[in-house]
Amino acid sequence: MHILIVDDEPNIRRTLRATFEAVGHAVEEAGSGAEALELVGRRSFDVALVDVRLGDESGLELLEPLLGQTPRLAIVVITAYASIDSAVQAMRRGAFDYLPKPFTPAQVRAVLERVARVRGLRDRVADLEERVRAEIPEAELDSPDPSMRRAFDLARRVAPADAAVLLRGESGTGKGVLARALHAWSGRADGPFVTVSCPSLNADLLEGELFGHVRGAFTGAVRDAAGKVAAAEGGALFLDEVGDLPTPLQPKLLRFLQEKKYERVGDAKTRAADVRLIAATNRDLEAAVAGGSFREDLLYRLNVVEITLPPLRRRTDLLDLADHLLGFFARQTARRLDRFTPEARAALARHPWPGNLRELRNAVERAAMLAEGPEIGLADLPERIAIPPADPAHVAVEVGAPISLERLEVEHIRRVTAAAPSLEAAARILGMDPSTLYRKRKQFGI
C-alpha cells in the first residue's frame, strides 16, 4: 500500500517509516498539513496516518481536505493523549481508525490489516456489482427515488444473512433483477443462482422440476433427475411468481423451508440441501391466504424479510431511468442518441406503464433502433405511449370500437384468463401456446 505519514515529529515519522517499509509498503512523509495536501495532490495514497497535534495545527482540520481529494483514503489518526474525545471527533469526520500513542509495531500492523480487509471487501462488492450488471447490462442498482432507495438499502443489508426474502411488486418492476443482485451481494455469490418459475401447468411436473424425481415417477419422467433444489446447493433458489405455486406443493416447500430436507418424486430417501430461498410475487398473497389458495404458514416462512418494489408510474426517477436506458442502447448500437425531445419526455411521463421497467426498456430499445437523429421524438415511441387515449373512460373496449388491436388483445386475454379454470385452459381457448400466453401476460402486465 501507499502510506502517507503526517507528523511534525521526525522521530515518529522515522519509526513508522521503518515499520511499514519492513513489510513492503511504500511510504512518504509530511511534517505539516500543507505538505500533506501537496503530496496528496500529486499522487494517490491508500492510507494516511495523521497526528492530531501537528505543531500549532490540528490534524483533525486536515481530514476534510484530505478526504475531499481522495475519498477512498483510509485515515488513521494518531492521538498522544489517548483521548477518546479527539478519536470520536476524528471518526465523525470520516477517519477510518485511531492509534493511541505510545503504540507498538504490532498495533500499527493490526490497523493496516484492518484497512486492507475493508478495502478488499469494498473491491469485492464493486466487482460483484459489475458482474450483476454484466448479466443484466442495463440494470441500474441505485436510485434517487425514496422507495427504490429503501428497497435497495434493505436488499444490501439483508443480503449477507441466510434468511428467506420475499420480493413484491407488479410484473416488470425488477424483482428478478433484484433477486440476482441480492445473491451477488451475499456470501453465497460464488454459488449458483437457480430460477424456478412457479406458474406451471401441472403440479407433478413442477414438483419434479423443483425436487427432482426418479425414473417412472410420473408420465414423462424417463430418467432420474436431481431437480433445481439440488442444483442450487451452496447458492440461492429463486421462486418466481410464488403466489402461483400449486396447493399440493405448498406443504412440501414449507417443509423444505423449515428443515432444509426434501425427497425426490417417487423416492423415499430424504435429502438435505443448503440453499437460500428468494421468492417473488406480484399477487396479493394475504388475499390468497384469505381465499384459501395460499397457506398462511408458508407465507410467514417466505416473508421473513419483505422488499417491495414500487410500480414505475409512481417512481420519481422515471425519466432518469429512460435516459439511463437510452445511454445503454446508444452504446450497444454504437449510435449517437443524446436525448428525448420535450414531447417524448412528456409522453413518457404521462404513460401509466402497466408493464413497468420491462415495458420501458422495450420501448427505449425500440426507439433507439428507429430514431434517425440524435434525438428520440414522439414518432419513435410505440403508439400507445405517444398518443394518449382520447377519453379512455368513455371508449368501451369492444370489437369495432375506435381502439388499437393491442388494447383489444390485452382485454381479451385478461377476461379469458380470469374466467378459465387454469392457464392451460385459457391458452387452449385463446389458441396459443401456454408459453406464449405466459410471455404475453408478462409483456402486458396482466
Ligand X SMILES: Nc1ncnc2c1ncn2[C@@H]1O[C@H](COP(=O)(O)OP(=O)(O)OP(=O)(O)O)[C@@H](O)[C@H]1O
Q: Which residues of the chain form contacts with ligand X (CB under 6 A)?
A: 136, 138-141, 169, 171-177, 240, 280, 282, 357-358, 361, 442
Q: Taking Cα atoms as reference points, which of 411, 416, 421, 401 lies closest to residue 445? A: 411
Q: Based on CB atoms, which residue is closest to ligand X, 144 or 392?
A: 144
Grid coordinates representing 369 are 433502433
Q: How far is the CB of 180 from ligand X (least distance, A)?
A: 8
Q: How far is the CB of 182 from ligand X (least distance, A)?
A: 12
Q: How far is the CB of 284 from ligand X (least distance, A)?
A: 14
Type of residue at 425:
A
Q: Based on CB atoms, which residue is closest to ligand X, 76 or 198?
A: 198
CA distance 262 to 269: 9
Q: Based on CB atoms, which residue is closest to ligand X, 49 or 237?
A: 237
Q: Based on CB atoms, which residue is closest to ligand X, 212 or 243?
A: 243
CA distance 267 to 217: 8
Grid coordinates representing 320 are 432518469
Q: How far is the CB of 422 from ligand X (least distance, A)?
A: 19
Residue bearing cell 498522544: 80
Q: How far is the CB of 203 from ligand X (least distance, A)?
A: 20
Q: How far is the CB of 251 from ligand X (least distance, A)?
A: 25
Q: How far is the CB of 357 from ligand X (least distance, A)?
A: 4
Helix 434-444, helix 356-370: angle, nearest 10:
90
Q: Based on CB atoms, which residue is closest to ligand X, 8 or 241?
A: 241
State the burial class of residue 200 (Cβ atoms within 10 Å of its Cβ: 0-12, 13-18, 19+). buried
Q: Which residues, at least 6 apart from 109, have a Cβ–Cβ distance to it below 8 Å?
A: 19, 23
- What φ, ψ does residue 135 adopt, rounded to 5°? -75, -40
Q: Based on CB atoms, which residue is closest to ligand X, 47 or 280?
A: 280
Q: Based on CB atoms, which residue is closest to ligand X, 95 or 280?
A: 280
Contact call for residues 135 and 115 (beta carbons, < 8 A): no
Q: How many CB atoms lie within 10 A of CB 444?
A: 19
For 109-134, give one letter per residue: b (16+ CB within 10 A) or e: eebbeebeeebeeeeeeeebbeebee
In 37-145, beta strands by DSSP E: 47-51, 53-54, 57-58, 74-79, 97-100
Q: Based on CB atoms, which residue is closest to ligand X, 118 or 287?
A: 287
Instruction: Give the residue at shortest CB distance from ligand X.
Output: 174
Sequence-distant contacts of 215-221: CB under 8 A, at least 24 apart: 216/266, 217/264, 217/265, 217/266, 217/267, 218/265, 218/266, 221/265, 221/266
CA distance 191 to 4: 39
Q: Based on CB atoms, which residue is closest to ligand X, 83 or 436?
A: 436
Residue bearing cell 452504446: 331
Contact call for residues 163 and 278 (beta carbons, < 8 A): no
Q: Based on CB atoms, which residue is closest to ligand X, 175 or 351?
A: 175
Q: How far is the CB of 152 from ligand X (least distance, A)?
A: 9
Q: How far is the CB of 47 from ligand X (least distance, A)?
A: 34
Q: How many CB atoms lie within 10 A of CB 445?
A: 20
- What φ, ψ does residue 382 adopt, rounded to 5°? -60, 150
Q: How far is the CB of 42 from ligand X (least distance, A)?
A: 39
Q: How far is the CB of 241 from ligand X (least distance, A)?
A: 7
Grid coordinates representing 205 are 411436473
Q: Based on CB atoms, which residue is closest to ligand X, 129 or 233?
A: 129
Query: How many Å is the maximal CA-CA distance in the chain?
Result: 92
Q: How far is the CB of 154 from ligand X (least distance, A)?
A: 15
Q: Based on CB atoms, which residue is closest to ligand X, 169 or 212?
A: 169
